[in-house]
Amino acid sequence: MQTQSINDIRQRLLSILKTRSYKKQRVTLSSGKTSDFYLDARRSSLHAAGAYCIGRLMLDAIKNDRADAIGGLTLGADPIIGATIALSAGQKQPLDGFIVRKEPKKHGMQRLIEGLELTAESRVVIVDDVVTTGSSTVAAINAVKETGATIVRVLCVVDRNEGGRQAIAAACGRKLDALFTLEDFQP
């Protein structure tokens, strides 16, 4: 796969997402909304080829951002972070990763953010798997803002186009970039 173009990798990931992650069935989303389809991106991000494609596409998307680290809210962001930082190891400036917990750990260091200790000098990318209303992404943004770190980009695998962009822009002044949108899954 190393010799594939970014466009080929993008098409391969879309195929994986359509096959493994997209389900045509009525479901209730974490936002409480109902939908006629479900996108479980973890079924693709926890697949070897899917993880590789996501990592490559994330690195390509952020290549000019001078980011130090990539992270997001557990659980959707976890495999994205792992794939991206692993593939960044071969770059001139590899990325560190961090994971934002849904609530601070109750014991030990009682951290809300695990992995890299973010500071005011940190330049970070916030990632998520699927964005609907943006609440999970905004939770990660708010936790990172508390550290003083600079958010240089917000990026997701799929944007369902259901208000997340607006919520994210309001939370951090950054637009949401997406590898894919809901339209990519329509026939």
Which amino acid appears at position 9 of this protein? I
Residue ranges of alpha helices (H) inside the chain are 6-16, 42-45, 48-61, 78-88, 135-147, 164-172
Pairing of strands 69-73, 38-39: unpaired
Distance CA 131, CA 84 (A): 19
Q: What is the structure's pLDDT at 2? A: 54
Q: Does a structural domain hold residue 87?
A: yes
Instruction: Please state, for a pLDDT cut of 70, what percent of the chain lies above it.
Output: 99
Question: What's the total number of domains in the chain?
Answer: 1
Q: Does a structural domain hold residue 162?
A: yes
Q: Does a structural domain hold residue 145?
A: yes
CATH of residue 35: 3.40.50.2020
Q: What is the pLDDT of residues 19-37, one digit of tens each?
A: 999 999 999 987 788 999 9
Beta bridge partners of 38: 23
To which residue do tokens 């130090």 refer? 68
Distance of alpha carbon 19 from the chain centroid: 20
Q: Does a structural domain hold residue 76?
A: yes
Q: Treating both helix axes as pointing N-terminal to C-terminal, what angle do 164-172 and 135-147 enclose, rounded to 10 degrees?
A: 10
Q: Are 59 and 85 in contact (CB under 8 A)?
A: no
Q: What is the structure's pLDDT at 122? A: 98
Q: What is the pLDDT of residues 164-178, one digit of tens each?
A: 999 999 999 999 999
Which amino acid appears at position 57 of this protein? L
Distance CA 37, CA 183 (A): 13
Q: Does a structural domain hold residue 1?
A: no
Rounded to two decimals, the pTM is 0.94
If one counts every other C-beta atom within 10 angstroms of the C-beta of residue 91, the result is: 10
Q: Could you list the residue range(s) of the whole structural domain that residue 62 is in?
A: 6-185
Q: Does a structural domain hold residue 91?
A: yes
DSSP state of 79: H
